[in-house]
Amino acid sequence: MAEPTLKDVLKAISELDAKVGRKVDELRTEMKKGFADLDKELTGHTQVHREIEKDIAALKSRPARTAARAPRRPRTR
């Protein structure tokens, strides 16, 4: 078998580089999609937390209930 020439080596390196480049591009695309999905999910959680904080603020701003019911006394026979 003949020794590979410089052209053969350069061609193999070029093919390997193209293959690696495609894999990197696929990984970048997959990561961008993953981050977009994560961002969408976190945005939803943020909206829920805002509503909870509004509810808490509304509850804190209410006056205390002063007309509490008297405690029940046990029945005696």
Could you tell me the residue range of the domain that residue 44 belongs to?
Answer: 22-56
Assigned domain for 64 exists = no
Q: What's the pLDDT at 52?
A: 95
Domain count within the chain: 1
pLDDT tens-place values along the chain, 77 residues long: 689 899 999 999 999 999 999 999 999 999 999 999 999 999 999 999 999 999 999 888 877 666 666 677 777 76
In a domain, 68, yes or no: no
**Model pTM score:** 0.52
Q: Is residue 2 part of a domain?
A: no
Q: Is residue 10 part of a domain?
A: no
33 part of a folded domain: yes
Let me know if residue 14 belongs to a domain.
Answer: no
Q: Is residue 6 part of a domain?
A: no
Residue 34 to residue 12: CA distance in whole angstroms: 33
Inside any domain, residue 37 = yes
